[in-house]
């Protein structure tokens, strides 16, 4: 009998409308599934214990429709949120699908396109605020180049920062309690996307006027595509108090953006990621930006959604068991894991510098030390495999 992992509202799992609504279209094939309308999506997500949902403006409101039609779509969404008990956990803007954005949105060479993009975000920020979304995500899928001849990256980043700061000013002026989260990705659809990794995004944020309200929304697939450790990117974002949101899915390194079910690929990576999120006090939502395999019918979509949640909860349980295992505590003590938390020397002072210069070290003895990390890591693998 398979073990049960039932989510609770306090687990704060959320899905984007575009995830369970994904119809399986890809660059080489047409849609394979019928459209799941928003009310059916919300009811299905509520039935599996999800806490909230997120949306792009164009997921929720028909692009180009009259204001009255768009208003009706928002009202239906609000009504269904109320009926299902779901909350709106994040909003974002589709600045990538319409041809107008083919050369970018905030960084298009065409100033009118740049101004239209900012206007499109402003309009959806208003809807997001009405729905109570605490986080607004910016994924610059079209912000990039195929040829370095096309843009001076310094100008592109200046325009990017200008747009984010203007929109932050708009949020402040309106008195909305909303924070921004930048979502990095290295490429696809553009040949090279600006702000390609968590590191680039964290550095970019420090150049912003309103840096205090801007954080990151790392996505598993996007750091993994670069061959980077998603865990390390998230850990640094937490260290810098900038993990405002997170996109959970799965991915094989060196491949196109697969957006697989969370936990379907990187078992060890996700064990340590979930342990980090659970132990770090991350208070944001656990947001899945993923979709079912193209092979699936609508029933398979709900298998996918349940699987994302099941895997997260299973990793969280295994992480608790790992941390409660006295053998792990002993192994970590031998490795000196807790010792790294002890300051090395503290802030500079003449006395500290003189003291250190006068200190002698037994370099050969220090070089002989073994850290016991093989045994410690094997304990983690044992717990992941359920053989501890
Ligand atoms: C793709 O990974 C992006 C878009 O789906 C969206 O803008 C963002 C929201 O999490 N992720
Ligand atoms: Mn992705
Ligand atoms: Mn994403």
* The pLDDT of residue 161: 99
Find out whether 298 and 36 touch, Cβ atoms under 8 Å: yes
* The pLDDT of residue 183: 98
Interatomic CA distance for residues 145 and 33, integer angstroms? 33
What confidence category does residue 337 fall into, taking pLDDT thresholds of 50, 70 and 90? very high
* The pLDDT of residue 42: 98
Where does a domain end: 291, 317, 343? 317
- In tens, the pLDDT along 278-305 reads 999 999 999 999 999 999 999 999 999 9
Average pLDDT over residues 322-350: 98
Q: How many residues does the chain have?
A: 388
| pLDDT above 90 for 2 | no
Residue 75 in any domain: the answer is yes
Domain holding 146, by residue range, is: 9-317
- In tens, the pLDDT along 34-80 reads 999 999 999 999 999 999 999 999 999 999 999 999 999 999 999 99
**N- to C-terminal Cα separation, the chain:** 20
- In tens, the pLDDT along 192-239 reads 999 999 999 999 999 999 999 999 999 999 999 999 999 999 999 999
Residue 4 in any domain: the answer is no
* The pLDDT of residue 353: 98
* The pLDDT of residue 89: 98
Taking alpha carbons only, the member of 313, 262, 316, 253 closest to residue 287 is 262
Look at ligand 1, atom 7, and give the residue with the nearest C-alpha: 139
| pLDDT above 90 for 368 | yes
214 with 339, same domain: the answer is no
Residue 2 in any domain: the answer is no
What confidence category does residue 123 fall into, taking pLDDT thresholds of 50, 70 and 90? very high
**What residues are in contact with ligand 1 under a 6 Å CB criterion?**
16, 18, 92, 137, 139, 183, 217, 219, 247, 289
313 with 329, same domain: the answer is no
Out of 247, 248, 308, give the residue to mutate to test ligand 1, the one with the largest number of ligand atoms within 8 Å of its CB.
247
Residue 68 in any domain: the answer is yes
pTM (predicted TM-score):
0.97
311 with 329, same domain: the answer is no
| pLDDT above 90 for 177 | yes
Where does a domain end: 264, 284, 317? 317
Look at ligand 1, atom 5, and give the residue with the nearest C-alpha: 289
* The pLDDT of residue 241: 98
What confidence category does residue 187 fall into, taking pLDDT thresholds of 50, 70 and 90? very high
Taking each helix axis from N to C end, the angle separating 153-174 and 111-130, rounded to the nearest 10 degrees, works out to 30
Average pLDDT over residues 160-170: 99
Look at ligand 1, atom 2, and give the residue with the nearest C-alpha: 289
Q: Burial of 356 by CB count in 10 Å (0-12 exposed, 13-18 middle, 19+ buried)? A: exposed
| Catalytic residue chosen out of the listed positions 11, 57, 59, 259 | 59
193 with 270, same domain: the answer is yes
216 with 333, same domain: the answer is no
Number of domains in the chain: 2
200 with 334, same domain: the answer is no
DSSP one-letter code for 56: E
What confidence category does residue 1 fall into, taking pLDDT thresholds of 50, 70 and 90? confident
Where does a domain end: 317, 332, 356? 317
């Amino acid at each position: 009998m398979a073990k049960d992992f039932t989510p609770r509202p306090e687990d704060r799992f959320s899905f984007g409308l575009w995830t369970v609504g994904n119809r399986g279209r890809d660059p080489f094939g047409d849609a394979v599934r019928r459209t799941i309308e928003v009310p059916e999506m919300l009811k299905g997500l509520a039935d599996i214990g999800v806490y909230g949902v997120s949306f792009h403006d164009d997921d929720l409101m028909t692009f180009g429709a009259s204001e009255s039609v768009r208003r009706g779509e928002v009202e239906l969404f609000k009504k269904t949120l109320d009926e299902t008990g779901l909350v709106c956990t994040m909003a974002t803007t589709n600045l990538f699908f319409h041809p107008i954005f083919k050369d970018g949105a905030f960084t298009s060479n065409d100033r009118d396109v740049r101004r239209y993009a900012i206007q499109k975000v402003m309009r959806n920020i208003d809807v997001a605020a009405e729905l109570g979304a605490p986080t607004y995500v910016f994924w610059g899928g079209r912000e990039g180049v195929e040829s370095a001849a096309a843009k001076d990256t310094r100008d592109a980043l200046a325009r990017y920062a200008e747009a984010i700061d203007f929109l932050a000013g708009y949020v402040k002026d309106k008195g909305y309690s909303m924070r921004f989260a930048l979502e990095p990705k290295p490429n696809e659809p553009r040949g090279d996307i600006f702000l390609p990794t968590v590191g680039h995004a964290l550095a970019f944020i420090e150049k912003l006027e309103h840096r205090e309200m801007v954080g990151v929304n790392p996505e598993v697939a996007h750091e993994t595509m670069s061959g980077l450790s998603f865990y390390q990117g998230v850990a640094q974002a937490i260290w810098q108090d900038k993990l405002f949101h997170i996109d959970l899915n799965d991915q094989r390194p060196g491949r196109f953006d697969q957006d697989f079910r969370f936990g379907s690929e990187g078992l060890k990576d996700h064990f340590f990621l979930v342990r980090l999120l659970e132990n770090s006090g991350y208070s944001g939502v656990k947001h899945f930006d993923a979709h079912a395999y193209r092979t699936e019918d609508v029933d398979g979509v709900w298998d996918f959604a349940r699987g994302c949640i099941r895997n997260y909860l299973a990793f969280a349980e295994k992480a608790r068991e790992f941390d409660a295992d006295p053998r792990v505590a002993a192994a970590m003590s031998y490795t000196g894991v807790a010792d790294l938390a002890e300051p090395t020397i503290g802030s500079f002072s003449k006395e500290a510098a003189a003291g250190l210069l006068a200190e002698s070290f037994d370099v050969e003895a220090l070089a002989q030390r073994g850290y016991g990390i093989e045994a410690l890591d094997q304990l983690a693998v044992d717990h992941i495999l359920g053989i501890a």
